[in-house]
Amino acid sequence: MVSQCVARSMRTGARIEITNDIGAIQGAFAVYTDTWTSMGQAESNTKKSAFEAYRVDREVMTIAGPKSLFMHCLPAHRGEEVTDEVMDSANSVVFDQAENRMHAQNALLCHLLSPKSSLSKSDDFHTAHGRHPTPALQ
C-alpha cells in the first residue's frame, strides 16, 4: 500500500513522508486518527499502551496549528485515541464527516439500485420478476 501511494505521489507531485516525529504535523490541514483496534478485536493492554503516545490531545492539536481540523471515522474511544477536549472542540469535524458519509452511502445505494446503473442490471432477475427490485426507483 505504501509503495502504491509513493508511486502515485511521484506522478502528482505530492510528498509522502513517514515519520514518528510529532513535529511533522505542524501546519497540517487536518489531523486524522482511527481506533487502535478493529471492531470485534479484543484490545490488549500491551497494544493499548503501545499506542498511547499517538493519542490526539490538546498538545498535538496545538502543534498542528489553530486552523487544523480534527477528523475521525468513528466510533471513537474517548480517552484512548482522542481526548474529549479535542473531540468536542470547534476544530473537530467528526460529526460532519459522519453526516457526509451517510449521504454518500445513500447516493451510492440509489445509484446501484437504479435501473440505469450497469451494476444493478441482472437479466435473470428482470426476466424472472418482470420488474425492478426496488419499485420506488422504477
What are the domain boundaries of the chain?
26-92, 94-138
pTM of the model: 0.72
pLDDT tens digit sequence for 7-51: 999 999 998 888 999 999 999 999 999 998 877 776 677 888 889
Is 129 a residue whose pLDDT tops 50? no
Mean pLDDT, the chain, integer = 86
Residue entry with cell 464527516: 97
pLDDT band at 124, cuts 50/70/90?
A: low
Query: Percent of the chain at pLDDT above 90?
Result: 61
CATH topology of domain 26-92: Rossmann fold (3.40.50)
Q: Which residue has the higher pLDDT, 122 or 104?
A: 104
Distance, first Cα to last Cα, the chain: 40
Comparing CA positions, the residue from 73, 82, 63, 64 lying closest to residue 105 is 73
CA distances from 54 to 13, 21, 37, 108, 112 (A): 28, 11, 13, 34, 38
